[in-house]
Amino acid sequence: MDLLRFTTAGSVDDGKSTLIGRLLYDSKSIFEDQLEAIEKASEQKGEKQVNLALLTDGLRAEREQGITIDVAYRYFATPKRKFIIADTPGHIQYTRNMVTGASTANLAIILVDARHGIVEQTKRHSFIASLLGIHHIIYCINKMDLVDYNEKVFQTLKTDLKAFSSKLKTKDISYIPISALKGDNVVNRNTNMPWYEGSTLLHSLENIHIASDRNHIDCRFPVQYVIRPQNDAYHDYRGYAGRIEGGVFKKNDEIMVLPSGFTSTIKSIDTFNGEVKEAFAPMSVTLNLEDDIDVSRGDMIVRKNNSPKQEQNIDVMLCWLSETPLKHKGKYALKHTSKDVRCMVQNILYKVDINTLHRNEEDKNITTNDIARISLRTTQPLFIDSYGNNRATGSVILIDESTNNTVGAGMII
Amino acid sequence: MTDYNLSHLEELESESIFILREVAAQFEKPTLLFSGGKDSIVCYHLARKAFFPANVPFPLMHVDTGHNFDELYEFRDKLINETGARLIIASVQESIDQGKVTEEKGLNASRNKLQTTTLLDAIESNKFDCALGGARRDEEKARAKERFFSHRDDFGQWDPKNQRPELWNIFNGKKNYGEHFRVFPISNWTEMDIWQYIKKENISIPNLYLTHKRKCFVRDGVIMAKTDFIDTKPSEEIKEMQVRFRTIGDATCTGAVSSTASNIDEIINEVAATRITERGGRSDDKRSEAAMEDRKKEGYF
Ligand SMILES: Nc1nc2c(ncn2[C@@H]2O[C@H](COP(=O)(O)OP(=O)(O)O)[C@@H](O)[C@H]2O)c(=O)[nH]1
């Protein structure tokens, strides 16, 4: 059994909450007391049916306004897989939440209302999924019950979506006609759409191949923490703790430490349960090196013949998360893997209109939810890959030094 | 080519170890909140794995209501002895004796809410800048939006509408003097994951989780243990029952379930079949629909 993380997106009222409720309900992940609570709440609101959407309502403010305003995480499992859903709101003013949810997802479900077809939001959500490096998109054409389960509606929409999504970086895209409300093709197949021969949504979620989505070629090990037991049994032990963010490290591999450039070999890969012969992303391990060289947090251990770029001038696609606009020539704290540096915004190249993907080189006013390409200069070199090659070594966050808030999320180009 | 893929438990473990190491690296004086319940036992186990072969580089802290089951204290002390952890005890009784909080009165009196003051005082007096906790997002809906790194202002309060965005696996632990963080390394685990992991790693747990005979009574449909800390109404019949606990908290507000599960496998089967959330047995959450959210804002775990 492995783990799949996915995010759900759609415009308001496309049926996102109903769909998640349906997935949880039909996969028997909802408990009686939860069901009772939402039955009571539905009744209070004067609704006839139990509103499955209420299951995924989180905070009080949201309950009162009846909207989702933050990323909420949900969990369910089948005998095949455990699932983590990043449930994110669809409205344009919450682009940043969607970016947050998408940043750790393997897959995105994008809901489309069968009656309305492709709308601005569909394009925006698709673009964000693709920008955030999500490898798999499933378009769920929802509310098929309201168009009489008509195959033609589905086929036309599928053709439109195909034409549009061919421009995306994401290559694995599928299309499923569903009714979240009635449950058709979500977990169970119904007789309402005999013309549909593909798999149900849950079946797809259970079977999509995700193991090869990670980079298992370029070895990257950002050092997180140095372990020095200083006890009798491990007197001279120095282990470099961290998580493998790319490639496969093996015992006896020749490695190089950045930025020093010192080389050594891996003496052992240690874990609490004993040595392992090899380790790959995303394993947390401790590397023990043959030679006594100086290594500390923020350094990166790589293979001798395969280094990331070492750069101080970095171009990123930036999603701005803060209400305070991005300052041209402004200075920010920057985090990249386990490294902390500062940076200055050198240049704002263009802003992306996330509905049309149009590049606007005139408008340099970057505020909440904007996506822009910018150039940064950092106080020290970073060891980077492009985001497309490696999500972990290709991403940065910017922090406002006066508030300590995370204000920007950047994907290295 | 080999399929380089982790099982869900391996991936969750790796994520939690990553978080624990980030805490050790980013904070000066962290502590791990330890209740003796299964979630904090798993957190401590993960911490031992994260820093092996060194010792866990921070102390554990038990916010003790004084109203816990004897089995829990025995288990705690044994675990501490065997693994060489440092343990700090923050006592709710002391907060009461010092007049910082007032004991609740009446039939449903509980020290659960008082823990918040004791916890915040202990964080301040020990100058902790980070308290690791074993909360999981699947427990309760207010927790579903909690971050891994959750910022608290200098009153220890949580502002759910103003949380820092958390992207990828980059965690921002920057703060001003006097503020602290709550960090939840097992955010992404479910109750089932916890039990499967306890089995896989052969982690010892208090016997309270396994079936045993105990003097109990039923209140509002919940089976409660009869202890010295809780008064019963004449109509509440006390009888010996075959029960176990799904969560272990203060004895005054933790419900038991009828169960014959006597080992981890049987617990896993029971959890798989059960149709009530584990917090369904906790009267502290039933006080209102937003009970948990309100307590969290004030600085509860
Ligand atoms: N007929 C029909 N109605 C649906 C379907 N899915 C959702 N709805 C309804 O559409 C409305 C909005 O759904 P909701 O899940 O709250 O949308 P969200 O804003 O995307 O979370 C609700 O009244 C749902 O009952 C569907 O498949 N068929």
End-to-end CA distance of chain B: 45
DSSP structure class, residue A183: T
In this structure, are B294 and B278 located in the same domain?
A: no
* Top-confidence residue, B111 or A105: A105
pLDDT for B3-51, tens place per residue? Answer: 788 999 999 999 999 999 999 999 999 999 999 999 999 999 999 999 9
For ligand 1, say whether the CB of A179 is within 6 Å of any of its atoms.
yes
Nearest CA in chain A to B173: A404
Residue nearest to atom 23 of ligand 1 (CA): A13
Residue A214 within any structural domain of the chain:
no
Closest CA to A219 of A108, A300, A132: A300
Out of A34, A233, A338, closest to residue B277 by CB: A34
The two three-digit tokens of residue A397, written as one number: 């966050």
Residue B91 within any structural domain of the chain:
yes
CA angle A43–A50–A78, rounded 5-degree value: 145
For ligand 1, say whether the CB of A223 is within 6 Å of any of its atoms.
no
In this structure, are B222 and B188 located in the same domain?
A: no
Percent of chain B whose pLDDT exceeds 90: 42
In this structure, are B294 and B271 located in the same domain?
A: no
Contact A118, A141 (CB under 8 A): no
Ligand 1 atom showing the smallest separation from residue A111 Cα:
20
- For residue B277, the chain A residues in CB contact (below 8 A) are 31, 33-34
Last residue of a domain, one of A156, A178, A207: A207
Out of B4, B14, B160, closest to residue A284 by CB: B14
Distance from CA of A69 to the nearest CA of B (A): 8
Residue A347 forms contact with B (CB below 8 Å): no
Q: How far apart are CA B241 and CA B212, in angstroms?
A: 8
Do the Cβ atoms of A227 and B169 come within 8 Å? no
For ligand 1, say whether the CB of A351 is within 6 Å of any of its atoms.
no
Do the Cβ atoms of B54 and A280 come within 8 Å? no
Total-model pTM = 0.90
For ligand 1, say whether the CB of A410 is within 6 Å of any of its atoms.
no
- How many structural domains compose chain B? 2
pLDDT for B165-218, tens place per residue? Answer: 899 999 999 998 888 999 999 999 998 999 999 999 999 999 989 998 988 888
Chain A interface test: which of B26, B141, B274, B287 (most A C-beta within 10 Å):
B141
In this structure, are A270 and A317 located in the same domain?
A: no
DSSP A317-376: EEEE--SSPPPTT-EEEEEETTEEEEEEEEEEEEEEETTTTEEESS-----TT-EEEEEE
pLDDT, mean of residues B112-117:
79
End-to-end CA distance of chain A: 34
Question: Does residue B108 surpass a pLDDT of 50?
Answer: yes
Nearest CA in chain B to A3: B8
In this structure, are B143 and B31 located in the same domain?
A: yes
Last residue of a domain, one of A271, A303, A335: A303
CATH of the domain at A203: 3.40.50.300
Nearest CA in chain A to B9: A2
What confidence score (pLDDT) does residue B1 get?
A: 41
Q: How far apart are CA A212 and CA A206, in angstroms?
A: 15
Residue B138 within any structural domain of the chain:
yes
What confidence score (pLDDT) does residue B231 get?
A: 77
Q: How far apart are CA A178 and CA A347, in angstroms?
A: 45
For ligand 1, say whether the CB of A10 is within 6 Å of any of its atoms.
yes
CATH of the domain at A363: 2.40.30.10
For ligand 1, say whether the CB of A56 is within 6 Å of any of its atoms.
no
Nearest CA in chain B to A334: B172
In this structure, are B233 and B109 located in the same domain?
A: no
Q: Which of A305-319, B74-88, B220-234 has the lowest mean pLDDT?
A: B220-234
Closest CA to A395 of A132, A66, A29, A26: A132
Contact A117, A160 (CB under 8 A): yes
CATH of the domain at B29: 3.40.50.620
In this structure, are B189 and B275 located in the same domain?
A: no
Residue-by-residue pLDDT tens, chain A, 413 positions: 899 999 998 877 888 888 988 888 877 776 666 667 767 776 777 766 666 666 665 444 554 555 445 788 889 888 899 999 998 876 666 778 888 889 999 999 999 999 999 988 888 889 999 999 999 999 999 999 999 999 999 999 999 999 989 888 998 999 999 999 999 999 988 889 999 999 999 999 999 998 888 899 999 999 999 999 988 888 889 999 999 999 999 999 999 999 999 999 999 999 999 999 999 999 999 999 999 999 999 999 999 889 999 999 999 999 999 989 999 999 999 999 999 999 999 999 999 987 777 899 999 999 988 999 999 999 999 999 999 999 999 999 999 999 999 999 999 99
Residue B148 within any structural domain of the chain:
yes
| Most confident listed range (A22-31, A252-261, B97-106, B139-148) | A252-261
What confidence score (pLDDT) does residue A60 get?
A: 46
Last residue of a domain, one of A303, A319, A343: A303
pLDDT, mean of residues B263-291:
65
Residue B43 within any structural domain of the chain:
yes
Residue B82 within any structural domain of the chain:
yes
- How many structural domains compose chain A? 3
Out of A224, A225, A391, closest to residue B168 by CB: A391
Do the Cβ atoms of B54 and A229 come within 8 Å? yes
Residue from A7, A13, A85 to probe ligand 1 pocket by mutation (most atoms less than 8 Å from CB): A13
Q: B64 Cβ partners below 8 Å, 6+ apart?
A: B89, B90, B91, B92, B93
What confidence score (pLDDT) does residue A53 get?
A: 67
Question: Does residue B295 surpass a pLDDT of 60?
Answer: no
ipTM of the prediction greater than 0.85, yes or no: yes
Residue nearest to atom 11 of ligand 1 (CA): A13
Ligand 1 atom showing the smallest separation from residue A56 Cα:
21
Residue A217 forms contact with B (CB below 8 Å): no
- For residue A335, the chain B residues in CB contact (below 8 A) are 170, 172
State the residue range of the domain holding A151: 3-207
- For residue B174, the chain A residues in CB contact (below 8 A) are 333, 399, 404
* Residue numbers of A between 241 and 260 with CB closer than 8 Å to B: 241-243, 248
Residue A213 within any structural domain of the chain:
no
Residue B1 within any structural domain of the chain:
no
In this structure, are A72 and A201 located in the same domain?
A: yes
Q: How far apart are CA B157 and CA B32, in angstroms?
A: 18
CA angle A373–A377–A380, rounded 5-degree value: 135
State the residue range of the domain holding B42: 8-193+289-298
Do the Cβ atoms of B4 and A2 come within 8 Å? no
- For residue B14, the chain A residues in CB contact (below 8 A) are 243, 282-284
Distance from CA of A82 to the nearest CA of B (A): 7
Q: How far is the CA of A14 from the centre of ligand 1 (A)?
A: 6
In this structure, are A194 and A343 located in the same domain?
A: no
The two three-digit tokens of residue A343, written as one number: 């940076």
In this structure, are B174 and B210 located in the same domain?
A: no
For ligand 1, say whether the CB of A125 is within 6 Å of any of its atoms.
no
What confidence score (pLDDT) does residue B289 get?
A: 44
In this structure, are A201 and A331 located in the same domain?
A: no
- For residue B297, the chain A residues in CB contact (below 8 A) are none
Question: Does residue B278 surpass a pLDDT of 70?
Answer: no
Closest CA to A247 of A314, A303, A177: A303
- For residue B280, the chain A residues in CB contact (below 8 A) are 31-33
Closest CA to A126 of A87, A157, A171, A85: A171
Residue B177 forms contact with A (CB below 8 Å): no
Contact B204, B78 (CB under 8 A): no
Question: Does residue B283 surpass a pLDDT of 60?
Answer: no
Residue B201 within any structural domain of the chain:
no
Do the Cβ atoms of A2 and B17 come within 8 Å? no
Residue B3 within any structural domain of the chain:
no
